[in-house]
Structure 1
Amino acid sequence: MRHIDHVVVAVRDLDGAADLYARLGFQVGPRNRHPWGTENRIIQFRHSFIELIAVPANADIPPHAPGHFSFGAFVRDYLQRRAGLAMLVLSSVDAAADAARFAQEGIGDFSPFRFERTGRRPDGSATHVAFSLAFAVDSQAPDLGFFTCQQHFPEAFWNESLQRHPNGATAITGVTIAAPRPQDHGGFLSAFTGSPTAEPMQVPLAGGAITVRPGTAPAFLGFNVLVPELGPVARSLRASGIAVAEQAGEIVVEPDVLHGVRLTFVCQPTSQT
């Protein structure tokens, strides 16, 4: 069963977003630049991460083309509509096989996309990372991004020193989508994840789930992050001047506070966002 590899959060001010996530209790990594022009900063956990991503004004973004999904063009176009959670990424051990399966399932006819970039360790030294991506499209929700990610040099990417967060966060455990008819997305999500859907509209993943709730239009609502204790997180957020809502077993930071993302801190893996 696949797990959530990362979530892509599109922002207009990368450093401003990084500062806000730091106030939330996360350790935010340094700025990186993709070969196609977008820039990101990463919040890393043990097996998953949050990717804060922005499009610089001078970025030369390649367009979409037949058989080619442009990651940069998708993020640019998303930011023209809104900021927020733009893409959900699942783990992969073979992106080429995923791309072939997506084509067979009728949810994506794109070549796998491999890219490499220079990364930075906590001490500032350079490291080399490479990824292959396989993209899929939900025809009922074309404004939402989905792909799988295969890491070719995981030992160069995952770093324990980057995974120590003041809030104690250890994983992304769930993503929630809103849609007018949640059941319309079950077929796509089952094909994308390789897991059967359940009722209410939910797709299980290793260590979490994707949940689809009723809403006015297809959109990612937010994601969950696992922490060891909720009380210290709530106190720290309030001390930082961040408004939170406490519900049963979770602490919520609403989208108007967090660049269009509803972030839920939980103590146990859950799909509730």
Structure 2
Amino acid sequence: MALKNVIGIDHAVVMVKDLDKAAENYKRLGFTVSPRGTHSAHMGSGNYTIMFDPDYMELLGVLTPTEHNAPARSFLEKRGEGIERIAFTAVDSAAGAEEIRARGYTPVGPTDFERPVTLPNGTVSAAKFRTFQWPTAEAPGGVRIFACQHKTRETVWIPELMTHANGARRLKQVLIVSPDAATDAAHLAKMIDNAVRNEADGAIAVPSGGDRADFVFLSKDQLGKRYPGVSLDGLPDRGGAGLVIAADLAKTEQALGATGVKSGSSICVPPAAGNGTLLAFVKA
């Protein structure tokens, strides 16, 4: 029985070492990047968002070391930049936390927080959230998961931020490499009370819910066969590897220029050029 208060993927969190440099890099890749957000002193982090419909990407960086961001700092030290966690959309975080508790997972939270947002007209508002996490130790494929309830969608999904020169429209897949993809996929499926689906090349998909993006677990070798000609340098053997993004490929090709690598029906940004994240653009 699927979770009632947690629906599919909300956003992918790419952990970066230098937040402002990462934002400039993604602008060069043709993304429209939000103004920088600064979280609370307790969180000690800041972010930039890249808004799609109905999901988005978040570039996250540590501004001041705190107890709260210790797992993120540990990730950067051990892995380097890349996909550190994935958020689900929570309809009701408090109810969602109780749902996973009933399934044997002690939730972290719910926690309320907000960050200032500068709107296109220059006024300052706030983006407000209520989140909860599955236990930190429960990280299928080395990727943590949490759920995010948006209290102020209008200050996050801002129309001016949702059109991208590279034609990006939405997330289609989150790619997670693992030497034991079957075990890691089954782990996630249990955590979100969903089923697995076998792919033709032996990879294993876990639908995240609704019409949102799927998780795809596969070995690094399988990933290389999916995207021939694309250097996977910088990716771990186990961890978040990439994002498949539905896009207008004519715009993608023009915006990426020499950075884009044509691979089958995809146009890819290698991990080394995407802050530790393979970006595979596919026809929307």
State the TM bucket, normalised to the shorter chain. Answer: 0.7 to 0.9
- The AA in structure 2 aligned to 1:80 is E
* Whole-angstrom CA distance in 2 between matches of 1:99 and 1:105: 10
**1:148 equivalent in alignment to 2:153:** no
Residue 67 of structure 1: aligned partner: none
Residue 202 of structure 1: aligned partner: 205
Residue 24 of structure 1: aligned partner: 29
Could you state the TM-score of these two structures normalised by the residue count of structure 1? 0.86
**1:225 equivalent in alignment to 2:245:** yes
Q: CA deviation at 1:143?
A: 4.1
Q: Percent identity?
A: 28
* Whole-angstrom CA distance in 2 between matches of 1:32 and 1:114: 16
Residue 54 of structure 1: aligned partner: 61
Specify every segment of 5 or more residues in structure 1 that has no aligned partner in the other structure, as ranges: 64-69, 269-273
Specify every segment of 5 or more residues in structure 2 that has no aligned partner in the other structure, as ranges: 1-5, 221-235
Residue by residue over 1:20-47, the C-alpha shift from the partner in whole angstroms, topping out at 9 and shown as x without a partner, is 1111111111111111210111111122
Residue by residue over 1:24-82, the C-alpha shift from the partner in whole angstroms, topping out at 9 and shown as x without a partner, is 111111111111210111111122111111112xx151x2xxxxxx4x22222211221
- Answer whether contact 1:107 1:188 (CA < 8 A) is retained: no
Residue by residue over 1:103-128, the C-alpha shift from the partner in whole angstroms, topping out at 9 and shown as x without a partner, is 23234432212112211112331112
| Bigger shift: residues 133-142 or 119-128 | 133-142
- Answer whether contact 1:250 1:266 (CA < 8 A) is retained: yes
Secondary structure, aligned partner of 1:122 = coil
* Number of aligned residues: 254
- The AA in structure 1 aligned to 2:206 is V
**1:236 equivalent in alignment to 2:237:** no
- Answer whether contact 1:122 1:161 (CA < 8 A) is retained: yes
- Answer whether contact 2:188 2:206 (CA < 8 A) is retained: yes
Change (3 A) 1:80 1:101: same
- The AA in structure 1 aligned to 2:47 is N
**1:91 equivalent in alignment to 2:89:** yes
**1:247 equivalent in alignment to 2:266:** no
Q: CA deviation at 1:170?
A: 1.4
Residue 66 of structure 1: aligned partner: none
Change (3 A) 1:119 1:179: same
Could you state the TM-score of these two structures normalised by the residue count of structure 2? 0.82
* Whole-angstrom CA distance in 2 between matches of 1:227 and 1:142: 27
